[in-house]
A and B are shown apart, each in its own frame.
Chain A
Amino acid sequence: MDAKDILGLPKNSFPSSADKKPRPPKESQRKPDGISREVYALTGRMPPLMPSIDASQLKKKHPPHEKITWQWLPFTNSARKDDLHLYHWVRVVNGVPPTGDYSFAKYNKSVDIIKYTDEEYEKHLTDPMWTKEETNELFDLCGRFDLRFVVIADRFPSSRTVEELKDRYYSVSQAILIARAASSGDVATHPLIKEPYNVSQEMERKRALSMVLSQTRQQERKDEEVLVEAKRIAELRMASKVTEQPQLVVASNADAEVTERAVPGETISPSNVQPPSMVVPSATDNASTLASLRMLRVYLRTYALDQMVQASNSSAGLRTIKRVEQTLQDLGVNLKPRVPTKAVCAEHLELRREILTWLNLQKQVQYKEAEGSSFRDGSYGETPGTPKLLRGADQDRTFIPDSMNFGVSSERVGKKDQKRKAHGGPPTSAHKRPRKQKASDL
Chain B
Amino acid sequence: MSHSQTLPLKRQQGEQPPSDDGSSAIKPSRLKISLPSEDSDKKNANKRLKDVEICVPIVYGTIAFYLGRKASESQSHKWTVYVRGASNEDLSVVVKKVVFQLHPSFNNPTRVVESPPFEISECGWGEFEIAITLFFHSDACEKQLDLYHHLKLYPEDESGPQTTKKPVVVESYNEVVFPEPSEGFVARVQNHPAVVVPRLPVGLNLPSPVPFDPMNDKERGGTKDHPLSQWFLNFSEADELLKLAASRQQVQAHIVKLRRQLNLLEGLPQSKQPSGYECT
Contact = CB atoms under 8 A, between A and B. Distances in A.
A244 B262 contact: no
Interface string B248-268: 101111110011011001101
A328 B250 CA distance: 11
Contact of A299 (B57, B177, B244, B266): B177
A334 B175 CA distance: 18
A282 interface: no
Interface string B132-146: 000010101111010
Given A243-B143, A250-B142, A365-B265, A298 B136 contact: yes
A361 B142 contact: no
Contacts of B55: 301, 342
Contact of A341 (B57, B140, B143, B265): B57
A368 interface: yes
Interface stretch (A74-82, A115-123, A349-357): A349-357
A289 to B, nearest CB: 12
Interface in A349-378: 350-351, 354-355, 357-358, 361-362, 364-365, 368-369, 371-372, 375-378
Q: Name A's interface SS.
A: helix
B254 A338 contact: no
B236 A293 contact: no
A9 interface: no
B230 to A, nearest CB: 20
B255 A340 contact: no
Nearest to A334: B240
B182 interface: yes
Nearest to A342: B55
Contact of B255 (A339, A347, A354, A429): A354
B44 interface: no
Given A297-B142, A351-B248, A304 B177 contact: yes
Interface string A299-339: 11110100000000000000000000001100111100111
Q: In the complex, which range does the number of interface residues on chain A fall in? A: 35 or more
Interface size class of chain B, counting residues whose CB lies under 8 Å from the partner chain: 35 or more
A253 B254 CA distance: 51
Contacts of B277: 423
Contacts of B147: 300
B48 A347 contact: no
A160 B142 CA distance: 66
Interface string A429-441: 1000000000000
Contacts of B240: 334, 337-339, 344
Given A300-B145, A354-B251, A368-B265, A377 B280 contact: yes
Given A299-B145, A347-B244, A339 B252 contact: no
A72 B118 CA distance: 111
Contact of B248 (A296, A347, A378): A347
Contacts of A362: 258
Contacts of A378: 274, 280
Interface in B15-74: 46, 48, 50, 55, 57
Given A299-B179, A376-B272, A378-B280, A338 B258 contact: no
B56 to A, nearest CB: 9
A377 B237 CA distance: 54
Nearest to A425: B275
A163 to B, nearest CB: 48
Given A294-B180, A365-B265, A342 B175 contact: yes
B235 A293 contact: no
A358 B201 CA distance: 38
A343 B255 contact: no
Chain B interface main SS type = mixed
Contact of A244 (B143, B175, B182): B143
A103 interface: no
A395 interface: no
Interface string A370-399: 011001111100000000000000000000
Contacts of A251: 142
Given A250-B142, A254-B48, A343-B237, A331 B280 contact: no
A341 B258 CA distance: 32
B44 to A, nearest CB: 12
A338 B177 contact: no
Interface in B155-187: 173-180, 182
Contacts of B237: 339, 341, 343-344
Contacts of A371: 270
A375 B272 contact: yes
A188 interface: no
B107 to A, nearest CB: 29
A428 interface: yes
Contacts of B136: 298
A324 to B, nearest CB: 11
A247 interface: yes
Nearest to B50: A261
Contacts of A246: 142
Nearest to A428: B278
A234 interface: no
B179 A333 contact: no
18 contacts: A251-B142, A261-B50, A296-B179, A301-B175, A333-B243, A339-B237, A347-B244, A351-B247, A355-B251, A358-B251, A358-B255, A362-B258, A365-B258, A371-B270, A372-B265, A377-B280, A425-B275, A442-B250
Interface of B: 46, 48, 50, 55, 57, 136, 138, 140-143, 145, 147, 173-180, 182, 235-237, 239-241, 243-245, 247-248, 250-255, 258-259, 261-262, 265-266, 268, 270-275, 277-278, 280
Given A327-B251, A333-B243, 8 more contacts: A250-B138, A250-B142, A254-B182, A294-B179, A298-B177, A341-B175, A365-B261, A368-B266
Q: Which 4 A-B pairs have the closest CB atoms?
A: A247-B142, A301-B175, A347-B244, A368-B265
